[in-house]
Structure 1
Amino acid sequence: MASPYKLRCNLVGHEKDVRALVTSIFPENGLISGSRDNTACLWVENEADNSYHRELVMRGHSNFVSSICVIPPDDTYPQGLIATGSNDKSILAYIPGVPDPVFKLTGHEGNVCALASGKFGFLLSGSWDTTARVWLNQKCVMVLEGHQMAVWAVGIISGQGIMLTGSADKTIKAWKAGKCIQTYKGHEDCVRGIGVVSEGEFLSCSNDATVRRWAVSSGDCLGIYYGHTNYVYCLSILPNGQDFITGGEDRTLRVWQEGKCVQTIYHPCESVWAVCALPNGDIASGSSDGVIRIFTRAAERVASQEVIEAHEASLANAPVASQPLGDIKIEDLPGPESLQKPGKRDGQTTMVNTNGTVDVYQWDASQTKWVKIGNVVGSSGSTQRTSGKTLFEGAEYDYVFTVDIKEGAPPLKLPYNIAEDPWMAAQKFIYKHELSQVFLDQVANFIIENTKGVTLGTGSVLSNSDPFTGGDRYIPDTDKNAGITNEVSDPFTGAGRYVPEGKTTDSPSNSHFPVKTFLYFDTVSPAEQILGKLKEFNKVIDPELQVSEAAIDNLASLISGSANAEAVKTLEKLIAWPPEYVFPALDILRITIRNQEVCKYFSSSQDCVDLLCQHASQGNPPTCRMLAMRTFANFFRYPEGIELNMRHIDAVLQSAINCKDFNTKNAQVAVASLVLNYCVRLSSLDDLESKSKCLQAIGEILIVNLDPEAAYRLLVAAGTLAALDDSCKALAHSIDLPDVVRKFHTSDVSKLVECSKLLSHTLSS
């Protein structure tokens, strides 16, 4: 192997744990750190003293900084941005060189513990609230929901538009266009870090003390790497793109080459929270003692002998957890004379009995000597407890608490050493006893409360919220009175080219988009035909669902456009009929909501939305499903109906996507018109998340074999959003919509060719 890494320098400045490390773009070769002291720092290399100096302290968070990433430069921020995630549930963005944030992102309901950036300015965040969020232009455009526990790790495979999330539920998920396309299972404990190796592979590390290599597309685990003896918190890919470094709860930073651990670097502290590979080949670690350490293979950058000796002295005095002893008794260990024999490999460790105490040494091949890396505290194999600690399950602890978690259940034992992070001790306790994560806050605060007056190993704990409870699903607001447009005639009854109204683009040749008018389905069949079919069904349906013939006759008033209250009540009963009998009632509902009072009445009914979505579901008669889509489209006529559709955008759009199996023109056009109406409404709103949902729906529906008119309306819908909001262009690229659009460039229908080429140009501009 290449020469081993040696200490280059220590960066001291943070007051508490360093939880995150990334390299900077501006300045080049800089290092950015985030800490439990609520700050992030920018460190710049100083070749004169072979170290780094702290150039900037970024403040603004009210709780500890958990994650950091760098957002690449764009026209707005030519030097890029530094994004920090915090336990205060927010994300702050800083311009390099400026200590105060330029904007703040809110929406998560728990600690923002992971961040990653991608193409087009996308930002991906993971949180204790069990979700990941996708941000663009300071707005949340997607919420990735599916994990059962905290999302500790995220990554982006930009070339494929795939986003990765790793969770405390032991799984990793791959997402594309906001949908989970793969779940990777294999880890036996929380997934804590993700590193993208290539377009086809990525790495993950876990509390199960392993690192795994995965195939992106197949989901296969390609390799499992063992070496750590405790939680693995972090990993970073080395500049060669294949090898990597890791850090964990066993006090070590480990270097991996070709799947093997080739070097183990111990630290004089409890945890290595963060590791980072630097462009010049050096590596960095952030630890629970608040120190950042840089290690190098370059002989000219190795620290002075004085610095190395001070580092070795701090290692020699560091406490080491008792677990390595297992069942070995102190008296069975060799004495100091055993250190005269050289080690077999770099990083090898050995324990030595020095006058009744256990010292741990590591073989340093570069110096050809054993270096003391700590003293073992709490011998698990000893039957004597001269330390004054409490023996529990073969190990000694400063405290062993008795905790009553559930009424009527036996109390549980909670062991704790003051060198531990209270939150980590609480997490171990919860996993061991298979308790709900809602107890995390309670257990950690119990530890803090019952160890008052004692200096804990990692400083104050700042979290005040349960980090695993999720918030309510985000429902976008709508302005009831803004942007309502006049109706246009039913576009399906006549021949000839459909040209949308409301053209506002600067291009005089664009007669396609954006549009400002909604499309409605207003064609009315003769009332006697509709009512006749209802009477026919009324005779054979379950008697409990039947209505009187007079009540059916009374529905004629609704078809003619009046708001007959008694008839409305009858219709409300009829739309709950089974799918094989309901289509005449749905046709009346589609027609009758042209009356604003009737529209207002049904817009206030949750049952109406649920029934329409149910009637639109796969397996039901095609006519029933088509009429449900047409009815949703007609709700856009009045503010009350618009509010209904916007309030239930998730359910309605999903129903539209589920109807992409339609194989008739009328049905496909009904779906496309509904989506187009959503885009018309959203074009006047600042609601990027809902726009994202529409673009995803368009992309999913366009890939099937569509009637030209339906395809055209979907292209117009996408153009209506993209022409008026540059953020939508980036969103479209993230779901590969440009590739889908290009297939219409060779269509036999001229307006499809014209519109698709115009949309391609718009998306690329």
Structure 2
Amino acid sequence: MPYKLSATLSSHTSDVRALSTPTNDLILSASRDTTAISWQRPSPEAQFKPETVLRAGSRYVNSVTYIPPTPDASKGYAVTGGQDTVINVFSLSSPKDDPDFTLLGHTENVCALHATAGGTIISGSWDRTAKVWKNFSLAYDLKGHEQSVWAVLAIDEDQFLTGSADKSIKLWQQHKTINTFERHKDAVRGLALVPDIGFVSCSNDSEIIVWTFGGDLVYTLSGHTSFVYSLSVLPSGDIVSAGEDRSVRVWKDGECAQTIVHPAISVWAVSTMPNGDIVSGCSDGIVRIFSESEARWASESSLKAYDDQVASQALPSQQVGDVKKSDLPGPEALTTPGKKSGEVKMIKNGDLVEAHQWDSVNFTWQKIGDVVDAVGQGRKQLYQGKEYDYVFDVDIQDGVPPLKLPYNVSENPYSAAQRFLESNDLPLTYLDEVVRFIEKNTAGVNIGTGGEEYVDPYTGASRYRSSASSVPTSAPASGYMDPYTGASRYTATPQTSAPSAPSSAYMDPFTGASRYTGTPQPAVPAPAAKILPVSKPATFKQANVTAMQGKLFQFNEALQHEISTSSFAMYPDEISAIDEAFNYLSQITATPPRHPSNSLSSAHVDAIIQILDRWPPSQRFPVIDLSRLLVGFCPDAFNAQDVKNRFLEALFKAGEWTTPWTLPLSKPRETNILLLLRTLANAFQEGTPIDGTWVAQAFEALSQVPYTSLNKTQRVALATVLFNVSCLTLRTPLEVAPRNQLLALLLRILESESADSEAVYRALVGLGNVVYATKASGPTLVASQIGEISQCIQALPNSFSEERVRTVTAEIGALL
């Protein structure tokens, strides 16, 4: 179940900066209104009420923690810290105006507190130290950080973690440093224990990192678009985070499972209860509780009021990326599903610019506010201590931390591209594609335009659309998209003004940090790179296994509950096989990947074939998407010739391949065709044998489709299929008949395509590979084929003047 609002607690008059939720019936909140509040409820059915207001100081109260009951305090203690530099300890069983204990020693703001079950307290301060207190007396001074200590965590009575604005985390045994963790690029703001693994940290660099205590990085969670201030861990082990992008995010198995947008500028604090509820504290002074249990959800009217409040917020344009209002799509763009939880789409609704966020749990767009000042603004981005006009977030693959691609409009894009490739140890053969990406995105990224789609410079893949989000559309694109995963990060802020325009980027009010920090590699003049041959196929293996699984079983349940369709629903043995397939994929796509002990077999493929044969067209797409991943990650299950032949037959049938191609195609059919082609592209990956009747079967089917009936994303996918086959021919030459089929298909794309350079480029490289392979190992081309190829490559540069097209056509001409 998704998390939904359960309760709203309003008593603070300023930002809620810290929370502690030790039991299901107690919440401690600390605020800049100079108070801390103990919220309690007498029973699970009752509402939380402010039982005690603790006058914890005369200035901001920025931290709070809890000590469990002792003989002297039957309800335990609330511990607070703030700008007064003192730590106050209040008994909750007999609260009074004056604290029971006052701990003195810090010289600046006490911004972090944590306590153990035994009553040991650790505090962090702007004075660059952390302190450990036992029996309400100073036990250790933890000195070693070079800047403010923003986060503290007591592992046990003698081991502690501290996180600092100096970007480091230190592990202490009593007062001695035993390990230092350095990976974050900006101030470390939060720490939490992760059972059976180690701990998790968050930072102003927008990243969340899970570590072992030995210093190994387990995985990184990327998705927040600004500073991440606070972390907590659910009883299930799932991670919850909160930050400057107004959101609380729930992370399951390394993926963002839900984004909860708040009607506030900042979500300063997040904490979790033993029952799994999530509590947040915001800049609007409100404490909110969210629950996964439907029994604890607020009333329908309260939920609607909350959604309306979120939708009515005014968002600064710099918070969601630059907007050119005239280029935005209308409300009809919201009929296209999103690609991942948290994606933001902007539309023009009359004279207003609205921001909507994709809710992958409820499979709907949620309005999160009205965008104000929606014009391009000149501002710089900081990266590694230097200013850039653009800093793009680049995801190489799901679950892997994004790479930063900094660029100034005044520099040579080839130098920036080479610096990016070399600093990230990526092949220079992708130089032209990175340059093309830079040129596209710095020519003016207009959110909502229907222009060229960004492409992956490494695989050539267009925007990935997982499950329902794979629905291709002719509607305009919706916002800056990451060229690798399609994620809407809005971290690249293209500008139209001169590079010297004054900066207006948001700064952390406490650390002074901008969103991006740390030293670009020195630029090196770009060497000329030869493109042909290209031997590595491009696969579509991006995976949101959880979302795909949820959608498939949602459809199955819908089929079960209708008398007219109940016979289509999955049988028990099919459910078992599909569950095993998803379990396998969940492990193999995890970060880091886990290698399942049991591999999948032809029985799992048979289950998919049977479901594809029965299910209605509108509900096939998650099954085809599952096929795409199984072909990509478990090709051995398809090894048997008869299995592969039957699977291809079922796949093309699911795409209604023999149905007349009358335009416009229905949306379900468009989706199924796109996923079919991506599945087929994965079938031709490295190591795939290309002998047997299945290759001819695939070529024969592909030759039947009128090329002009395919939309842009489908054309790119088709070109990728053929390109992948061409890569395999470099190692295993095709017989004359299938080779000629491949050539004919490639030439048809090159001769028919008039607008999409990406489909042309992939087909052109595929053609170059085939010509290269025939020169190396035969069979040789006949004169008529050479003539048609020559005529084609002479004409292409007239229609597609890109450097990469001219380069490949020249290389093919030289081979001929």
After TM superposition, the score normalised by the length of structure 2 is: 0.46
In our comparison, the structure showing a higher alpha carbon Rg is 1
After TM superposition, the score normalised by the length of structure 1 is: 0.49
